[in-house]
Structure 1
Amino acid sequence: MSHDTLNRTATPARPETGGATATATMAPAAPAPDVATSGRPAPGTGSPAKPSGHANSHAQTGTKTDAKADAKSDAKADAKAKPRDAFFDNAKYLAIVLVAMGHSWEPLRDGSRTAAALYITVYAFHMPAFIIISGYFSRSFDMRKDRLQRLITGVAVPYILFEVAYTLFKKWADDDPGYPISLTDPWYLTWFLLALFVWRLTTPLWKIVRWPVPLALSIAVLASLSPDIGDDMDLQRVLQFLPFFVIGLSLRPEHFKLVRRKKARILAVPVFAAALVFAYWAAPRMNAAWFYHRDAAQELAAPWWSGAVMTLAMFGCSLVLVACFFAWIPGRTMWCTALGAGTLYGYLLHGFLAKGSRFWDWYDNPWMHTPWGAVLLTLIAGTVVTLLCTPPIQRTFRWAMEPKMTWAFKKDPVGMARTRT
């Protein structure tokens, strides 16, 4: 699930959450004020008297003074951060909690139909919700230098670091020394960072096409029919989840207000209840791998045409459940709101425990498969991922999640001039 989306990409202050990380607002910088149109008389106007050398000097001095004042004002405006929106931080935090809970339920599905139904329901909407938020906060992305730098430091660098870290962890914890490090074949949770990098780079293209969502959905359908795409860059997931990112790019604040009305909150209750009932019925009959969007239909032992049917059907179901999820998200500041800025940390770091629990056979204990064991496991998963989103963890791992890396980029002459002014 961010980085800029899970974390920064999905916060109004700056570019992601969630994933968790998850995905930040990249608002366009204000243009430098034009002295000739800033409400002050242009030099050399207002008096018909013949200008003298002294007058010219005075006019030039005034122009320079005005320019300095404008530069200072512009620098202050750029430095002033937009306030965070509590709604999106709450949404990212609750979504990352559901991610961790879903991972804790995965080994319980074979012995518990209830766990399988909850797992299917959560997987139908938690990643689409993260991706929609990531797309929403990518609307202003362009190829401007500072935004490309944030994309590299906030998405590409964490992807490389955690892809290597996860691979080394698997070699050690799973006793698999031959498992290769591959930056083109993301393992476990890192696929979201690679996908977000690709999606965000394509943002300018989606802004110029006339029907972006139908086009993205057509690409997803074609991907589900194409088993030859392979595993490189997890391209199936990149393409099959693409419509949700493009929907996020197309949304406006009024669309979120629409699903947060009281009527929508009430309507979401029976809709979500119906989804749980259907999931309980479908759990023993349906291949849960459809929800991962990482395989073509033929790779799931299904006829080729079922890829198109399932892609469209699941797209519609996911959108409905995402709307229900957003309808229940509080818009006020709560105890967990501040944790929404750390969803990338929770997303990437909890993966070591989630995978470690399998490598170290924690689920072999029969008590874990009892109802009380499942409840306790769910609470532990929610608590652990919450702790991993806290400020102390963010400060500890910021060097990997949000490196500044000023040494790696050329100096911006315009920015340096403004700073000197």
Structure 2
Amino acid sequence: MSTQEQPQRQTAPDRPGRQRDAFFDNAKYLAIVLVAMGHSWEPLKDDSRILEAAYTVVYSFHMPAFILISGYFSRSFDMRPDRLKRLITGVAVPYVLFETAYPLFKNLVTGSHEDISLLDPWYLTWFLVALFVWRLTTPVWKLMRRPLPVALAIAMLATVSPDIGDDLDLQRVLQFLPYFVLGLCMKAEHFQLVRRRWVRIASVPVFAAALAFSWWAVPRMSTGWFYHRDSAQELGAPWWCGPVMTLAMMGCSLALTACFFAWVPGRKTWFTALGGGTLYGYLLHGFLVKFGDYRGWFEHSWLHRPLGEILVTVLAAAAVTVLCTRPVQRVFRFAMEPRMEWAFRQDAAGLARERHRQREKVSA
């Protein structure tokens, strides 16, 4: 590497395709831990108002934070053959495999006869459908002068359209779209703004206020709003509540997401390396949660007490941590990141770029 290129490589570590930034790996790991904790709380929260309040707060920002990061790292996506190939092998193929595996797993454990349908995302696989659609439309959003207002308008319209149906979980795809588009619009300096000391301090009362409000809202508000998978009418509200709630919840979600990013360490930690395996943890922890649900483990009365809820939370965090490790990635790489060279034509331009990169490594 020439002396002119070296400083540029060091000053832009967060750019897609460049050196990994510890902050984003830390954020992805912590977000996926919150996802696993939230799923482990679902069978327990009905018996605890405090737990349901915490569940509501976590669900208001954990997926928006994850989606925003996904959008940020999709900024360089275009229709280049090698990137389309990675989209197919890294998103579409895992969707097909896990959309098939989850119903088969349920049939095996419970003896049921769950149908396999690639059009009806099962449990966690909706995110893969959404990511595929969002990333495929990235060039369109990059062409627009004001992409975020357009995405927000689409999300608002989706909340008043009960006829969209459940195919490919399009309600979620459309209602979460603004967070992805916001990630596309963000730059590295935007993340630096929320990592200041005063933001870190201010985030403490903000989260405290969010918990207090959630505790008050538990008997007064449906948690269905936080899933973003139904229209206002399907949630028993008048149609005009959909756009209003979209704006209100996006404001709350972004505020809590900013507080979450303020607490994420920017240095390398013991869990930084796990940030590269968050998709493994996301898709695989669902089997553990569902197995416990099918076997009735969550029905034990002692688990519905504070110590039991804490134990379940710790176990969920530990399990998803293990599922993000390198050994697990090596075992399940065939499903998450299959090479599938046999399925694609050779890309002459891609081969030339690969040879150029190899020459650069040798010269460096």
TM class by shorter-chain length? Answer: over 0.9
The whole-number CA distance in structure 2 between the counterparts of 1:164 and 1:154 is 16
Structure 1 or 2, whichever has the larger Rg, is: 1
Mean CA deviation greater in 356-365 or 194-203: 356-365
- Give the 5 Å matches for 1:16-415: 26-27=16-17, 82-177=18-113, 179-415=114-350
Q: SS in structure 2 opposite 1:304? A: coil
Instruction: Tell whether the 8 Å contact from 1:26 to 1:147 is kept in structure 2 after alignment.
Output: no
Relative to the length of structure 2, the TM-score reads: 0.92
Q: Which runs of 4+ in 1 moved over 3 A?
A: 24-27, 414-421
Mean CA deviation greater in 100-109 or 147-156: 100-109
Question: Which structure 2 residue ranges, 5 or more long, are not aligned?
Answer: 1-11, 360-364
CA offsets per residue over residues 158-191 of structure 1, 9 Å max, x none? 01100000111122223321x2111111000000
- The one-letter code of the counterpart of 1:216 is A
The whole-number CA distance in structure 2 between the counterparts of 1:158 and 1:224 is 28
Question: Which structure 1 residue ranges, 5 or more long, are not aligned?
Answer: 1-11, 14-23, 28-81
Which residue of 2 is the match for residue 78 of structure 1?
none
Aligned residues: 345
The whole-number CA distance in structure 1 between the counterparts of 2:289 and 2:25 is 24
The whole-number CA distance in structure 2 between the counterparts of 1:87 and 1:359 is 37
The whole-number CA distance in structure 1 between the counterparts of 2:293 and 2:152 is 35
The whole-number CA distance in structure 2 between the counterparts of 1:327 and 1:118 is 19
The whole-number CA distance in structure 1 between the counterparts of 2:349 and 2:97 is 32
The whole-number CA distance in structure 2 between the counterparts of 1:274 and 1:181 is 43
Mean CA deviation greater in 102-111 or 183-192: 102-111
- The one-letter code of the counterpart of 1:156 is A
Post-superposition shift, 1:311? Answer: 1.0
- The one-letter code of the counterpart of 2:37 is M
TM-aligned CA distance change 1:160 to 1:371, over 3 Å:
same
Higher helix proportion (structure 1 or 2):
2
Using CA pairs below 8 Å that are at least 6 residues apart, which structure has the higher relative contact order? 2
TM-aligned CA distance change 1:287 to 1:415, over 3 Å:
closer
Post-superposition shift, 1:364? Answer: 1.4
Q: SS in structure 2 opposite 1:184? A: coil
TM-aligned CA distance change 1:210 to 1:415, over 3 Å:
closer
The whole-number CA distance in structure 1 between the counterparts of 2:328 and 2:343 is 25
Instruction: Tell whether the 8 Å contact from 1:25 to 1:138 is kept in structure 2 after alignment.
Output: no
Q: SS in structure 2 opposite 1:411? A: coil
The whole-number CA distance in structure 1 between the counterparts of 2:248 and 2:291 is 34
TM-aligned CA distance change 1:353 to 1:415, over 3 Å:
closer
The whole-number CA distance in structure 1 between the counterparts of 2:352 and 2:27 is 40
Mean CA deviation greater in 100-109 or 330-339: 100-109
Task: Determine what percentage of the aligned residue pairs are the same residue.
Answer: 67
Q: SS in structure 2 opposite 1:187? A: coil
Post-superposition shift, 1:312? Answer: 1.0
TM-aligned CA distance change 1:259 to 1:160, over 3 Å:
same
Mean CA deviation greater in 121-130 or 207-216: 207-216
Post-superposition shift, 1:306? Answer: 0.8
Post-superposition shift, 1:318? Answer: 0.3
The whole-number CA distance in structure 2 between the counterparts of 1:284 and 1:383 is 31
Post-superposition shift, 1:379? Answer: 0.5
